[in-house]
Structure 1
């Protein structure tokens, strides 16, 4: 005999096994207005569209779709208590506590939460709650048609461990669920006959004629010794997590904060030279992402994260033609700000972002690749998950380092019915580390400031601050304010080590800063060197390309040597000065004029080499005169490709003057003004607004007036005409096996009236038994004009 899992279906919801719609309506009607308003606030799906009466509200509140929405924000313990009320058909706190291995006071508090959510009332769980947990709550079968007496029930499994007879093996297989076993054709179960004779199994058959054995609920509970759950209901323990010294966390986080600011500056400089071209389908293409990643020295996935961070912080906008992402008008002020101010803008924007940069390069549901800054990288759950992760890390003792497996387990326990996409927790923890919100996996002091603000900031979604809700709210948060930014700046500034203005230059063209460089020294090194390692000390190397970058910025060879000498304790090595002089001699041998584009090459040999270089064929080069070469590519692309080929070109204006990189003044270069900031995916963002107190009071008043009018009419049968109410009434009728009167629209537009019993509510259609014609029919939901419960 093999066990099989059954698809969730309607559980027992008739009188005596749960609350009916009428009982739920009476319960809601008896509540004070403030409690009804609190219910509507906690379950906002019940307000759209508004119900006409408490009976109509009860139909919706007790139906499975609305119940499923309410269950999404409950933790594992509260969900277990809710499921236990269905499995045991009881709302007695002591009985539920014994069955779940919990304290009676804790269970009573959970029952109070479920009552306030109108999921469980004095009469029992609402119909949709039984539907949500399926036909076998906690793996228990249905109640026996003829239950055996208590003294005739089997002993607990612990007393049967030493027995190896066939009947005991069947009981052990079915005890913890699923409680249904099926025999294939021509097979028999040794020992099952005796169990059926004792009333410990019930024999049935399925539609295919196979024999099925069902373990009754009473027998299953006896085998479990009255327990519903096999494992204790406890969240993952934090005792095994590493605890780091606060100084180590602060140091690690500060290093990452400096690095993310540097990477963002590099991105803005790169896209200031050549923006991120937008695909026809939206977003920035893979080629532009690859080019950007190479320019800032990152892998493609990390570069996508930096790009999304910059856009979220309002540092990017669309150019005049709307064809490329370029630095926004706000970028120049950000570039000139101090490090703590720059970092605070990035961190605050990340916390409220709904972007998923780790999905860049993967395929959407439609099969298309997701591009960076594309609409498909927007997901509302990502914003909620960021806040939940920060709140969870904040709840741990200071310095506690949490890995992705522990965080995922804790979040799942907090909200089991909110599934977390694969890889999302790992990716968000990596983003938090990249930003410096964590150091070594532990929340930093700036991270705690941000988490505290998110916890205290008002939400536009439902209030989920009850003990049953997971960390963080589920609604949209307000945008960061100046007070938060100031607090973030102060917290990071306190963790940053004192600046060092000493540069130890070595003859192998490397240099060491014994600590964190001061802003002035950092600016010189950023323009003229490449980083080899970071940590307690900064190690950089001078290369021809890095020196050329300083010359591109407008420095002369003498100015660069003086700037480096100012921080060096000893004279600069000859190898470095020779490198600078050699780079200066080659710098400007090729000049690019942006006419899209003209190359002026004084040396005929260099011009011939450019035209013959196969790697430059994509530029569409054509020599129109001695020393004059035209290109179909933009000036930025020409500069990049020539540098990759080993040349050292410079950009010049229409008068032949050399342009300093990033110079946008009008007398140097004709350039469109920087655009206003824009955010990708903002056109797809939907914010859920919480109803105001006057609106809630008006809704409650209309519910009372509508219910009084309905009852004054003699308690007219519950009816519905809108799809939401229609489906709710049909599911209720299916659960209670009640008759309903349908009005259907035929193919010719004529209406028919049928008295039916609902057999199944399926996606888009309903299976019905026509009681008048004694036939079965399947009806599309959109054909149902109205439904009335009889």
Structure 2
């Protein structure tokens, strides 16, 4: 009989690290918990137990049910024998049963006999009672848990199917790298707002979908992949690239894909990692959803939602194609990222480092551009369309942006001459020369009060800026014929003018040209330093040690709990001759310095002086 009394004694005896780990897995409300009895009652509260039991897999649930039907604690060997009798857990061996017992013990759902699960274990009475009333609490019926056999294992992918799967997977993997790269570029240009309840704000989601040329429903998957790889993070409610994004952007395509695939694998929870590894050569279709629903009978919908997210990411990354594992996906699950990358690269299209420069100011790549060429080209030209052969376009604004970032007419010419298969067309040459000549016609400097001053010797251009509706939020006011003022800081005004495609430069207080840095880097969030579970354990230990009458207080709480629960316990009593005698007693009341109870062994009523009671323990 494993009751609150047994759990309280166990909690008090557990090492701090084990107790903290258990409370992290089984969080409780700390209010009203003043000792280990209160903690035990909180852990055995039905609502808390539902939260602990619902995520268990079928084998763990079945073990709790089978153990609850036994009169004595069961060892792993005996538990395996009982589990093997039921369709849901047929074939369970002692090793799996022992691992299951250890998990349930760590979750404080079963009470180990003889100080450990090797000697057997039994569930706490509250756990068994909850499982017996399962449907009333949203849990499955015990008999259904035991009687439902697993779905059939699907047939493995045939060798004939693999070549087509691998080709399609490689196309998706290559596109995934390009999509994440485009996402980071767009987030660097303008962050995406995250809602407080989670998920992107609708305008940000639409903007990113348009920039990435994907369906809006695909954007969260791409963002999750970038987040898992540490390339994007939320800072002050806005999604931005991280410091690691720059290095990733300049890496080779195989290395970039490897980073994304490795992050996907490393972030898998243990149960999904085991499940995917077991199905590394079989379809991830509706059969997988049926299996996950069977595996987690108390939380099928949540489990299916959890796996659907990972399956979507796998399809996006090319680990699967049409829900069939690719060669790279199989290699990732069985051998790791290096083997997966080797398998995937064999099917990647060849990258090019040369482009065609057209007289209409467009740039056409005859194939996928090498990352180092594309990243440099994008600083001076705008992407028009992305595919295996992408198209870029030069404009006065794009060249002005490059000059703002530090390029010169000479450096632009040198780069284009090196990568062009058609030389530098004359219209593009003129555009570069004109853009460089125009650059700096508008200057932004911080005033003494911190506000911005916009200056230009071109009165017509300054007037255009003053009435530009796209800049109305800057509240620009005329100071004189060559100056406008804004109450916003210099960098805000500079980037607003730059985005509006004006030839603007920023100046410091002495008039030297500087390049403001946009807030494009997000710091990865640091885990909260406070540990509520550790704080609770420390407080209980401190209160326990501070009480001068700890032993007496502990005995009093044990007796009170036994009386309230009408629980049979073993009471150790000191006799007048110094002997210690154990009585199997069901306490019925305490009063007048005496303990009254029914002696179950002798079947008589006993009254014992409390001063003679030296200890009490559960019958378990």
For the aligned pair, the TM-score class normalised by the smaller chain equals 0.5 to 0.7
CA distance in 2, matches of 1:335, 1:625: 45
Distance 1:72 1:650, change over 3 A: same
CA distance in 2, matches of 1:307, 1:123: 41
- Identify which of 624, 642, 666 aligns with 2:497: 642
Q: Which moved more, 1:651-660 or 1:81-90?
A: 81-90
Q: Is the 8 A contact 2:177 2:257 kept in 1?
A: yes
- Give the corresponding residue for 2:575: none
Matched, 1:615 2:497: no
Describe how 1:474-553 pairs up with structure 2 within 5 A: 497-506=349-358, 509-553=361-405
Matched, 1:721 2:603: no
CA distance in 2, matches of 1:113, 1:329: 41
Matched, 1:397 2:280: yes
| Structure 1 residue 619: Cα displacement | 0.5
> Aligned-pair RMSD on alpha carbons?
6.5
Matched, 1:233 2:149: yes
CA distance in 1, matches of 2:198, 2:507: 31
CA distance in 1, matches of 2:472, 2:311: 43
Matched, 1:75 2:61: no
Structure 2 residues without counterparts, runs of 5 or longer: 28-36, 73-77, 114-119, 535-550, 569-584, 598-615
Q: TM-score, normalised by structure 1?
A: 0.49
The CA deviation string for residues 658-709 of structure 1, in whole angstroms up to 9 with x for no partner, is 445759xxxxxxx9xx99x8432522675989xxxxxxxxxxxxxxxxxxxx
Describe how 1:378-457 pairs up with structure 2 within 5 A: 385=269, 388-398=271-281, 402=284, 408-417=289-298, 420=302, 424-431=306-313
Q: Is the 8 A contact 2:229 2:259 kept in 1?
A: no
- Give the corresponding residue for 1:566: 418
Matched, 1:630 2:513: no
| Structure 1 residue 615: Cα displacement | 3.3
| Structure 1 residue 234: Cα displacement | 0.8
Q: Is the 8 A contact 1:720 1:788 kept in 2?
A: no
CA distance in 1, matches of 2:298, 2:471: 56
- Give the corresponding residue for 2:131: 133
Q: Is the 8 A contact 1:316 1:331 kept in 2?
A: no
| Structure 1 residue 597: Cα displacement | 1.7
Higher relative contact order (CA 8 A, sep 6+): 1
Distance 1:523 1:558, change over 3 A: same
The 3-state SS of whatever aligns with 2:92 is helix
Q: Is the 8 A contact 1:45 1:66 kept in 2?
A: no
Distance 1:607 1:391, change over 3 A: farther
- Identify which of 679, 703, 709 aligns with 2:524: 679
Q: Number of residues paired by the alignment?
A: 527
The 3-state SS of whatever aligns with 2:478 is strand
- Give the corresponding residue for 1:765: none
Structure 1 residues without counterparts, runs of 5 or longer: 1-18, 29-35, 50-54, 140-176, 179-216, 218-226, 353-382, 455-483, 664-670, 690-712, 745-750, 757-786
The CA deviation string for residues 257-309 of structure 1, in whole angstroms up to 9 with x for no partner, is 344245435545x47xxx89999x99999699689959976869948975995
Q: Is the 8 A contact 1:73 1:415 kept in 2?
A: yes
CA distance in 1, matches of 2:422, 2:208: 36
Q: Is the 8 A contact 2:53 2:61 kept in 1?
A: yes
- Identify which of 92, 99, 111 aligns with 1:106: 92
Q: Is the 8 A contact 2:356 2:363 kept in 1?
A: yes
CA distance in 1, matches of 2:438, 2:210: 22
CA distance in 2, matches of 1:300, 1:613: 35
Q: TM-score, normalised by structure 2?
A: 0.60
| Structure 1 residue 599: Cα displacement | 1.1
- Give the corresponding residue for 1:167: none
Q: Which moved more, 1:109-118 or 1:612-621?
A: 109-118
Q: Is the 8 A contact 1:402 1:442 kept in 2?
A: yes
| Structure 1 residue 652: Cα displacement | 3.8
Q: Is the 8 A contact 2:6 2:618 kept in 1?
A: no
- Give the corresponding residue for 1:205: none
- Give the corresponding residue for 2:573: none
Distance 1:252 1:308, change over 3 A: closer
| Structure 1 residue 436: Cα displacement | 6.6
The 3-state SS of whatever aligns with 1:106 is coil
